[in-house]
Chain A
Amino acid sequence: MKYSKLAAASITALMAATPVLADLVFPSLSYRTGPYAAGGIPYADGFADYFTLLNERDGGIGGVMTSAPECETAYNTEKGVECYEATKGEGALAYNPLSTGITYQLIPKVTADDIPLYTPGYGRTSAANGKVFSHVFNFPANYWNAASLAVNHLKEVSGGDLNGKKIALVYHNSAYGKEPIRTLEGLAEKHGFELVTVPVDHPGQEQKAQWLQIRRERPDFVIMYGWGVMNQVAIQEAANIRYPMENFIGVWWSGGDHDVAPAGAAANGYKAVTFHGVGSDYPVFDDIQKYVVDTGKAAGNGDNIGKAIYNRGVYAAMLLAEAAKKAQEIHGTPDITSSMMRDGMEALEITEERMTELGMPGFGPTFTVTCENHGGPGTGAIQQWDAAAGKWSLISDFGPSDMELIQPLIDEDSGAYAAENNIEPRCN
């Protein structure tokens, strides 16, 4: 009796002495409904499953459990902002809204609230300039890198010379879709190709006029910046006019499995730029299967593992988790705040050794984030769709984009933003 009382008292004292660690919260502004759900679902599943894996396999990050509560935005900017306002008070460490429109609205808010905003491969491209955008990170690559990577590939398949070639850009007629135009104009001047721009209005269900125009213009290559139904219809229409699929290349947001599936065999050979690995042949996916899917804790039914957009969700979650770990190291506490998380993101270092430890060898580039550079290395590879096998394959190594051309554009755009908003450049 005496001993049991003593034990109880000891436990009580221990509980009182040890602070209760709250979850590390990474709100997921997801969209599982609406016209863009087909891309939103696998991304949200990948994002959630990785954090569940960390909890189940590793007991969280630094001993603190993680959570990724979802808030449905339906890819609607107003709803996205509402989700941000509704969740920021719950200890949110970082936001990843998977929408360029929402990103633009959140940039001033997160800066004021001292919460980092993470937009891998999307959002405001010039946010790569950390001197101006203290709370926004878009490593490891952005829209402009993608345009350059696509052109690099087209140059390579053209025998190293694009002079006199014609390249059409089919794009979603929105802020997102228009992002690469300036870069492509610069690249057209540099490499001597002609650029034809072909906008497609939301949602992109009807593209007859655009593809008749492409049939008339006969471009050597077509680059696509689409999202949602626009991608599926464009690939089908390209097949209908018998445009050679190997000359048709999409940005990573036009490179999902669901984008090519509706066109069936006709989509064979279609290409897309990517900033991460493809397929499920990485140990991390075995772990997700074992600890998350097989235990019934997956966000979906496990069917999306290895699919391009699911992998992107996993990759984004992994980079955030690594940044959280870095923040814990920097500040010497496992229970970090959003401000500490920002510091962790700014000091993030991804090495091949660490990627291998995480079960993702070669899945993405190695890089270091700095105060000046929030955009990462801007490297990427080309994936190609094999319709018979029903999967993407990497057909190139991860290579560099044309930072000589992109960096001045980033500096110019971010400089204009700084001037408009009276932002004093930091990192001096």
Chain B
Amino acid sequence: MPEQLLFAMEVTLNGLMAGVLYALVALGFVLIFKASGIFNYAQGVMALFAALTLVGIQQGQVPFAHLINAIFGTEVHHFPWHVPSIIAIILAAGVMVLFAWIVEKYILQHLIGQPDIILFMATIGLAYFMEGFGDIMWGSDIKTLDVGLPQGMNMAIDEATYNMFGYGFFIDNLDIVATVVAALLVTSLVIFSQYTKQGRALRAVADDHSAALSVGISLRFIWVLVWSIAGFVALVAGIMWGAKSGVQFSLSLIALKALPVLMLGGFTSIPGAIIGGLIIGVGEQLFEFAIGPMIGGATQNWFAYVLALIFLIFRPQGLFGEKIIERV
């Protein structure tokens, strides 16, 4: 088999894996948009905050230590314990539920009935607040995230492809884990929304707020629920991305990777987020591989948006989005 074809196959596989990671971020946006019509600008910062909280809990870091020390002249930094990863993940998820409740009580509740743009602006404010709050709470240094996820080349795939083609493919173990986790997450979400009472209520709200309210569904409960789930998805995305680079401010910028995925897959579709992520992942990696070297490289960031724009021209609601029909 020609060498270039083998390289293209390797790039495609890696693109699919990268796409899963993009889809994980996009999923959080979709959940909130679907249930409340809000484009949550803070989703990227939520991933950062969730990962910071996880590492902070795991390492026994004292929250607001810098502030406490500055005010009281103390020298506290860490508690004398180290929390096991699984407990830290559960506690961090708990913090994200608390965060969802606070957002609903102190922001969303006061904005019921306001135009979507107001809600969007509120999430911009929330994003910047959380950035600063996360810094004050946990500090802005890079934190190493170690929850026992495997990293590095998968030797079995390398060996198998080498035996088959005479060239070993590189696939990162972390990407394989991310794919499995994303599959589990999506399956759980589908089961939850199809087969549980709360899930059906969530779908009802997504279809029509007013109709859902008229049959006694609590909009406030649904909002807390959906922001909690989005918080959990943000935690998972934060873990996967944080394992690559350490937990730091840049994690919040992964939201930029989700935007073209949403434009392509549609803002209201979970399968759309997954398929969109995969298309963007493969598209940008293949473009960088085939065309990048001819035009100076580093094409991934802008090419993802070009690809999404091309789809938008032909299908404005995205691949799986609901067609918007407004009657006059």
Q: What is A's interface to B at a CB cutoff of 8 Å?
A: 32-35, 37-38, 41, 173, 197-203, 205-206, 208-210, 212-213, 215-216, 228-229, 232-233, 236-237, 239-242, 258, 261-262, 264, 266, 296, 301
- Taken together as a complex, chains A and B put the C-alpha atoms of A216 and B296 apart, in Å, by 17
Q: Does B241 lie at the interface of the complex (its beta carbon under 8 Å from any beta carbon of A)?
A: yes
**Chain B residue, CB-CB nearest to A261:** B144
Q: Can you name 18 A-B pairs with beta carbons within 8 Å?
A: A33-B140, A35-B248, A35-B250, A198-B297, A205-B251, A206-B18, A206-B300, A210-B297, A212-B170, A228-B250, A233-B245, A240-B152, A240-B153, A261-B144, A264-B146, A301-B69, A301-B75, A301-B77
A201 touches which of B144, B245, B301 (Cβ 8 Å): B301
Q: Does B285 lie at the interface of the complex (its beta carbon under 8 Å from any beta carbon of A)?
A: yes
List residues of B (291-328) whose CB comes within 8 Å of A's CBs.
Answer: 292-293, 296-298, 300-301
User: What residues of chain A lie closer than 8 Å to B159, measured between beta carbons?
Assistant: none
**A208–B18 touching, CB < 8 Å:** yes
List residues of B (225-273) whose CB comes within 8 Å of A's CBs.
Answer: 241, 244-246, 248-251, 253-254, 257
**Chain A residue, CB-CB nearest to B158:** A242
Nearest-Cβ distance from residue B145 to partner chain A, whole angstroms: 8
**A201–B298 touching, CB < 8 Å:** yes
**Chain A residue, CB-CB nearest to B285:** A209
**Chain A residue, CB-CB nearest to B254:** A205
- Taken together as a complex, chains A and B put the C-alpha atoms of A261 and B59 apart, in Å, by 15
**A240–B172 touching, CB < 8 Å:** yes
Pick out which of these stretches binds chain A: B6-14, B106-114, B193-201, B211-219: B6-14
Interface centre among B75, B151, B246, B251 (most CB of A within 10 A): B246
Nearest-Cβ distance from residue A210 to partner chain B, whole angstroms: 8
Q: What is B's interface to A at a CB cutoff of 8 Å?
A: 7, 10-11, 14-15, 17-18, 66, 69, 73, 75, 77, 131-132, 135, 140-142, 144-146, 151-153, 170, 172, 241, 244-246, 248-251, 253-254, 257, 284-285, 288-289, 292-293, 296-298, 300-301
**Chain B residue, CB-CB nearest to A304:** B141
Contact A33/B135 with A205-B245, A232-B142, A262-B142 known, Cβ cut-off 8 Å? yes
User: What residues of chain A lie closer than 8 Å to B131, measured between beta carbons?
Assistant: 33
B250 touches which of A197, A201, A229 (Cβ 8 Å): A229
**Chain A residue, CB-CB nearest to B69:** A301
Nearest-Cβ distance from residue B209 to partner chain A, whole angstroms: 36
